[in-house]
Amino acid sequence: MAHWSKGEEGITSMCGPVNSCGSTGIAVQNGTTSGGGATSAFEASYAANSTVPIPGSVQGAGVVTALQNVLAARTQRIAAMQQALQ
């Protein structure tokens, strides 16, 4: 499959300040490798921290707890990704 090297920047730039693109999932595909080579340290860090606990059924204060848990997991993931990029 052809690589959409021309498309990446354009598509990402259309996404607006808060990821305002629709639901087609074109801006980024999580956990994919680029170029078909060995998995990079970045990919490994992403995969190792890709489990974000998101409950299916919450209400009231449980929503806040769930969001806090999601944020904690995402913060951990971002830290790992940043470390891998250094």
Partner 1 sequence: MVNASDAQRLEIEKKMTATIQGILAQVAPIASTIDANHGAALMAEISNANDTGMFSAARLAKLMVQITGPSRGVSAQFIAGASTLLDRMGAFSSQVDSELVQTYQNANVTGTLDQTKLQSLAYRQQQVESLSAAIKSSFDRSASDPTQLQRVNNALGQSTIEGMLAAFR
Q: Residue 19 interacts with partner 1 (CB under 8 A)?
A: yes
- Does position 48 interact with partner 1 (CB under 8 A)? The reply is no
CA distance 19 to 14: 9
39, 44, 48, 55: which one binds partner 1 (CB under 8 A)? 55
**Crossing angle between the packed helical segments 41-48 and 61-85, to the nearest 10 degrees:** 160
- How is residue 40 annotated by DSSP? P
Measured CA distances, 44 to 1, 21, 86 (Å) = 23, 26, 14
What tokens does 86 get? Answer: 């250094």
| Number of residues this chain uses to bind partner 1 (CB under 8 A) | 59
Site string (63-82) toward partner 1, x via CB under 8 A = xx-xxx-xx--xx-xx--xx
Binding site for partner 1 (CB under 8 A): 1-4, 6-8, 10-12, 14-30, 32-35, 40, 42, 46, 52, 54-64, 66-68, 70-71, 74-75, 77-78, 81-82, 84-85
